[in-house]
Amino acid sequence: MVGQRVHVVGAGIIGLSIAHEVARRGHTVTVLAEQRAQASVSSVAAAVWFPYRSGTSPSLPHWLLAARARFEQLAGDPATGVDLREGLVVERDHAVDRSWTAAVPQHHEATPGELPAGAVAGMWATVPVISMPHYLPWLEQACADRGVTFTARRVARVEDVAGGADLVVVAAGMGSGALLGDAALYPVHGQIVRLPNPGLTQWVTDTAHPEGLTYVVPRRDDIVCGGVAQVGSWATHPDPAVEQAILRRVTALVPALAGLPVLSRATGLRPARDALRLEPVAGYSVPVIACYGHGGAGVTLSWGCAEAVADLVDRT
């Protein structure tokens, strides 16, 4: 196989994972993006590998397992920022869908005494937790180590980056829709608060909390608390009232958080689509592959989708 010149548009976790995998197959890769990964929505992610609302593609089980396997492998290297940690999935409905447990070998039922008020059940699970302040710089360097080059530029049209490329991959998150004329992509606004970590390791998610999506994810240096999932909202600045509501919910869920100072806050627009798009796209001067619409599952699906894109590149 003769290596191709591949331009990847997008430097978030999806774009970088694709760049790494395509370069690993022997292709020459250039990443083009206006901002580096640390300034993308990927940097806002709490980043627990978890198959929640991760799509309906028939390839989903394979992508999930491939990504989990890679993260578990990376957890063996402290420099990556990946750790395997136990956490609690709170359930408030007896008919809740537990199909996700098929993708998580290490899980068991929570006891009534381990549940917050109002919960009817819960599951403990051990999964990868990815500390994005460590992981994104590591992933950038891992790409560079494989010969990936980076060009800082705003990409307005696919044809603008087709010159000098044998193939273009569009993995630009919310920017992908405009590049490919896809009106099916929409934002899901999120907001988080970061607190200092007094030594907590267990994460907890309460997606059906009556007052809104609630999660607490301890990382190495801080705790990410959320959250918000406002479909269709383009808001880009933290709302103080929303922040106070988040703090009330997470403190009730994890009392050890009470009184901790706020280190920082952030918002992000999850790039959502009713069906994740991972496919070749016709109509351009060079072959184009689309990979976007991951919503809040970008981290969870990253390596699986990257391998799938690399397979398409190899066959093109």
pLDDT digits (tens, 9 = 90+) for 124-135: 999 999 999 999
Contact call for residues 104 and 131 (beta carbons, < 8 A): no
Tokens 């989990």 sit on residue? 68
**pLDDT exceeds cutoff 80 at 112:** yes
- The pLDDT, as a whole number, for residue 44 is 86
- The pLDDT, as a whole number, for residue 178 is 95
- The pLDDT, as a whole number, for residue 55 is 60
Indicate the DSSP class of residue 145.
H
**pLDDT exceeds cutoff 90 at 187:** yes
Task: Please count the helices (runs of H) and the strands (runs of E) in the chain.
Answer: 6, 14
Provide the pLDDT confidence category of residue 33 given band limits of 50, 70 and 90.
very high
Closest CA to 276 of 309, 313, 228, 315: 309
Provide the pLDDT confidence category of residue 56 given band limits of 50, 70 and 90.
low
Count of residues for the chain?
316
Q: What is the pLDDT of residues 269-294, one digit of tens each?
A: 999 999 999 999 999 999 999 999 99
Helix H or strand E segment including 224: strand 222-226
As a whole number, the mean pLDDT across the chain is 94
- The pLDDT, as a whole number, for residue 145 is 97
Which of 23-37, 40-54, 214-228, 285-299 is predicted least confidently?
40-54
What does the buried/exposed string (b/e) look like for 165-175 if buried means 16 or more CB atoms within 10 Å of the residue's CB? bbbbbbbbbbb
Mean pLDDT score, 255-276: 94
Mean pLDDT score, 19-41: 93
d(CA 216, CA 228): 13
Domains and CATH numbers, the chain: 5-315 (3.30.9.10)
Contact call for residues 187 and 270 (beta carbons, < 8 A): yes
Can you list the positions of beta strands (E) in 78-208? 82-91, 107-109, 121-130, 149-152, 167-170, 186-196, 203-206
Contact call for residues 223 and 216 (beta carbons, < 8 A): yes
Closest CA to 70 of 302, 309, 293: 302
Burial environment of residue 72 by CB neighbours within 10 A (0 to 12, 13 to 18, 19 or more): middle
Tokens 């198959």 sit on residue? 51
Provide the pLDDT confidence category of residue 103 given band limits of 50, 70 and 90.
confident
What does the buried/exposed string (b/e) look like for 236-260 if buried means 16 or more CB atoms within 10 Å of the residue's CB? eebeeebbebbbebbbbbbeebeeb
Provide the pLDDT confidence category of residue 99 given band limits of 50, 70 and 90.
confident
